[in-house]
């Protein structure tokens, strides 16, 4: 009898979760249903070419990267850098300004670096941006640069995308890689250190929070041996989030109906 009640309760939870997921999927836009293509955790994405987190993805598109900066832990998680592939330089964009589901819970800056073809352990600054427009603190990277460099993306290949809070900027042995005439400039590598490989970050961004970088013209990085299987934690994380959200919405609706 007691066993029967227990399995009945389990079935109720499963049904509620299933109903909740269906309810949530019906309410959300398609990009949310698909979920981020890459989730930063459980390990923190690094800050330089050698510490960057590689995005492996067995698919022709990379549309969203979800992660977190913890700027209160200065020097530990003040920047996140990812290795990925640009498939179409003309179509490439990376943004956090609200378009295509992108966001940042802080005043973001985005940075694009290219790998040195002679020494892939070196990365050179290519493009940087603080704000995509005068009314947003979100960022946008795409070619060409809007300053005098008119720097464009040279073509398909392996690149690095990095996110920081405004005020935290990349440097090489020669100094800052970029300089900005305005907060909305998409800058080429026109700083005093622009021609040398990236080595570090300077300046203090402030804040803490999650972000979603929306991408176009991009894909995951695959070594010559092929892409490894996706780690299961992303799927588990997404499933758990959907289940929790679904149960919450179903419970709320039941409460409203007085059930």
Give me the residues that bind Ca ion (CB under 5 A), please.
44, 77, 80, 107-108, 130-131, 137, 147, 166, 179, 187, 190
Q: Which residue is nearest to Ca ion (CB)?
A: 187
Name the residue nearer to Ca ion (CB basis): 59 or 206.
206
Could you tell me how many residues make up the chain? 259
Name the residue nearer to Ca ion (CB basis): 102 or 179.
179
Write down the least CB distance from residue 125 to Ca ion, Å.
11
Write down the least CB distance from residue 52 to Ca ion, Å.
11
3-state secondary structure of 242: helix
- Is 48 within 8 Å of 121 (Cβ atoms)? no
CB under 8 Å to 17, separation ≥6 — which residues? 243, 246, 247
Write down the least CB distance from residue 177 to Ca ion, Å.
10
On the 0-12 / 13-18 / 19+ scale of CB atoms within 10 A, 63 is buried
The strand pairing partners of 140, in sequence order, are: 95
CB under 8 Å to 10, separation ≥6 — which residues? none
Write down the least CB distance from residue 257 to Ca ion, Å.
41
Name the residue nearer to Ca ion (CB basis): 37 or 80.
80
Distance between CA atoms of residues 237 and 125, nearest Å? 33
Name the residue nearer to Ca ion (CB basis): 143 or 246.
143
Name the residue nearer to Ca ion (CB basis): 138 or 217.
138
Write down the least CB distance from residue 233 to Ca ion, Å.
15
- CB neighbours (10 Å) of residue 70? 13
């Amino acid at each position: 009898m007691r066993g029967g009640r227990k399995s009945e309760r389990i079935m109720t939870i499963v049904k509620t979760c299933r109903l909740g997921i269906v309810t949530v999927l019906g309410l959300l836009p398609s990009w949310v249903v698909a979920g981020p293509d890459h989730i930063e955790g459980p390990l923190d994405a690094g800050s330089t070419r050698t510490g960057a987190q590689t995005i492996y993805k067995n698919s022709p598109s990379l549309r969203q990267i979800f992660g977190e900066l913890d700027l209160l832990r200065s020097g530990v998680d003040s920047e996140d850098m990812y290795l990925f592939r640009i498939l179409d330089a003309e179509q490439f964009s990376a943004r956090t300004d609200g378009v295509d589901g992108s966001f940042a819970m802080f005043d973001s800056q985005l940075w694009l670096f290219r790998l040195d073809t002679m020494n892939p352990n070196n990365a050179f600054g290519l493009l940087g941006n603080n704000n995509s427009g005068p009314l947003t603190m979100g960022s946008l990277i795409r070619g060409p640069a809007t300053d005098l460099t008119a720097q464009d993306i040279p073509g398909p290949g392996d690149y690095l995308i990095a996110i920081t809070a405004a005020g935290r900027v990349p440097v090489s042995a020669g100094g800052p890689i970029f300089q900005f005439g305005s907060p909305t400039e998409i800058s080429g590598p026109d700083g005093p250190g622009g021609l040398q490989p990236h080595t570090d970050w300077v300046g203090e961004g402030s804040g803490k929070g999650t972000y979603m970088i929306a991408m176009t013209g991009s894909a995951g990085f695959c070594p010559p041996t092929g892409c490894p299987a996706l780690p299961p934690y992303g799927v588990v994380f997404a499933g758990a989030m959907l289940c929790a959200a679904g149960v919450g919405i179903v419970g709320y609706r039941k409460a409203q109906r007085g059930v």
